[in-house]
Amino acid sequence: MAVAALLLVAGLSYLASAQAPPITIVSREGRKPLPVTAINNQDYISVDDVNTAFLTTSREDRLAGGLTITARGRSIVLTENQNVVSVAGRLVTLPAPPVRRDGRWFVPADFLPRALAVALDTRIDLRRPARLLIVGDVRVPRVVARVDAGANNVAVTLDITPNTETRINAQPGRLIVQFDADALDLSVPLVPTQGFVQSVSPGDTPSTVVLTLGPRYASNRVTTTQPDAGSGRVIIDLLPATTDVAPTPAAPAAAPDTRLTIPTQGPSTGLRTVVIDPGHGCDQLGTQGSKGTLEKEITLSVSRRLRTLIESRLGLKVFLTREDDRTMEPDDRSAFANNHRADVFLSIHANSAVRPSVKGAEVYYLTVERADAEARKRAEETATTLPALGGGSRAIDLILWETAQARYLEQSATLAGLIEQSLRARVGMSPRAVQQAPFRVLVGANMPAALVEIGYLSNAEQEAQLTTAAYQDQVAQALLDALIKFRDFLEH
């Protein structure tokens, strides 16, 4: 009976102790593994390994049943099977007691942040799910990845705490997200089956995450937001090839990046399609009035009114870059207009100024810097002609994205002038009614384009006006009037 009981105890104790996956120590010196032994389902570290990793020493007192670890001249006194230890005279409680196995001492992993950190006077942070031990002043943000599959796209969301800058590098077949950090405390999701992304996984270096792309992936759109003061969020939308742009059979030799090229369509000779761009959206609030009026809501409301007017009065095709409250990058807005082969692109915004007295509507078209003028010349020289698919003789010209709007500046200036005239007849104008500015949203627009600031939300009187249907309708009517005049200009 006694023998059987002893065997049983020995058997249990043998089963209860096993090798566990190591913990990775991340410090200024780099990364190194710390071996882990599972004892009673808890992560334990051998004191020998602690001494190697942290340059501590230890001395056993067999009579007292204790062990003293010396760290930077401070003593940590452990007692076998006691979950209270003394650190330089202070008592620290551990979730499990130190144990002695086969002549070796083991401490629970929590000994490191709770007791050793105090003795070393160093920050030690145990990130249990990621099996990371962060030592000292290193930047190891927590990154939680999520994959949401839509019908025609996939969004990869990275929640980052604390907020950390990221950069995304595209490589063949994958996207690398580089963090401004020493390492990542990364939790990666199970990726649902779809054609855009096969996996989200740790990269080749400690501060990167890799998205391995699938066959449906063609391009991406990255949105960076800050949901609260302490954290950041990066949303990478993985998009399919746009079906309404004629496919290009080969990359043009002259263009360094085929993703940045768009088909040219020559100067507009008529007005058939209008793309209206309601500024901002979702967490891109835009400017905000003192009564809480949000630019993103005003711009969407005015854009919808304008669409209704154009469709009913002119019978043209009208598309909005966004139909609802969503985030959209400037280049994606002009790309939308290009893909829909718009003859005119209008971006709608509301303004704000430091001085509350500033008010009135303003119209902008793109600035021409000398560099732009040179780029324009280069674009004309490097425009590439490719044979159309299907063997026809029709050719698609490709030009560089950055120079798209430069080819339409004269027409855009005319458009801006006509908008200014029409607005002036119906709403108050700012003293500087027509201006040029380097608005990103206009850069890639491959057609005449203007940006309209329909009033100042920072002005109390105008904030009240901007929220009314009457003012919004006046603005929409003025823009309709301008489009009618612009159509005449194009056709005569």
Binding site for Zn ion (CB under 5 A): 279, 286, 349
Rounded CA-CA distance 160/186 in Å is 9
- Residue (286 or 417) nearer to Zn ion, CB: 286
CB 238 within 8 A of CB 372: no
DSSP 281-335: BTTB---B-TT--BHHHHHHHHHHHHHHHHHHHH--EEEES-SSS----HHHHHH
- Residue (56 or 462) nearer to Zn ion, CB: 462
Query: Using DSSP, how many helices (H) and how many strands (E) does the chain show?
Result: 11, 30
- Residue (55 or 285) nearer to Zn ion, CB: 285
Buried b (16+ CB within 10 A) or exposed e, 77-115: bbbeeebebbbeeeebebebbbbbeeeebbbbbbbbbbb
Output the smallest distance, CB 352 to Zn ion, in A: 8
Output the smallest distance, CB 339 to Zn ion, in A: 22
- Residue (49 or 277) nearer to Zn ion, CB: 277
- Residue (349 or 407) nearer to Zn ion, CB: 349
**Residues in CB range of 449: below 8 A, 6 or more apart:** 334, 337, 344, 345, 346, 347, 365, 366, 405, 408, 412, 415, 442
Rounded CA-CA distance 45/407 in Å is 68
- Residue (147 or 457) nearer to Zn ion, CB: 457
Give the ranges where 64-215 is alpha helix by DSSP (H).
111, 117-120
Rounded CA-CA distance 231/253 in Å is 42
Output the smallest distance, CB 279 to Zn ion, in A: 4
Rounded CA-CA distance 470/464 in Å is 11
Instruction: Copy the structure tokens of residue 43.
Output: 């992560």
Q: Letter for the amino acid at 385?
A: T
- Residue (98 or 444) nearer to Zn ion, CB: 444
Output the smallest distance, CB 288 to Zn ion, in A: 11
Output the smallest distance, CB 286 to Zn ion, in A: 4
Rounded CA-CA distance 56/51 in Å is 4
Of 163, 113, 107, 160, residue with least CA distance to 134: 113
Output the smallest distance, CB 351 to Zn ion, in A: 7
Output the smallest distance, CB 473 to Zn ion, in A: 20
Q: What is the DSSP letter of 190?
A: P
Q: What is the DSSP letter of 176?
A: E
Burial class (CB in 10 A: 0-12, 13-18, 19+), 50: buried
Residue nearest to Zn ion (CB): 349
- Residue (140 or 441) nearer to Zn ion, CB: 441
- Residue (248 or 436) nearer to Zn ion, CB: 436
- Residue (94 or 298) nearer to Zn ion, CB: 298
Output the smallest distance, CB 109 to Zn ion, in A: 51
Neighbouring C-beta atoms of residue 395, cutoff 10 Å: 12
Output the smallest distance, CB 453 to Zn ion, in A: 7
- Residue (296 or 305) nearer to Zn ion, CB: 296
Output the smallest distance, CB 330 to Zn ion, in A: 11
Instruction: Copy the structure tokens of residue 381.
Output: 């020289």
Output the smallest distance, CB 405 to Zn ion, in A: 18
**Residues in CB range of 403: below 8 A, 6 or more apart:** 372, 375, 376, 378, 379
**Residues in CB range of 174: below 8 A, 6 or more apart:** 210, 211, 212, 213
- Residue (34 or 450) nearer to Zn ion, CB: 450
Output the smallest distance, CB 53 to Zn ion, in A: 53
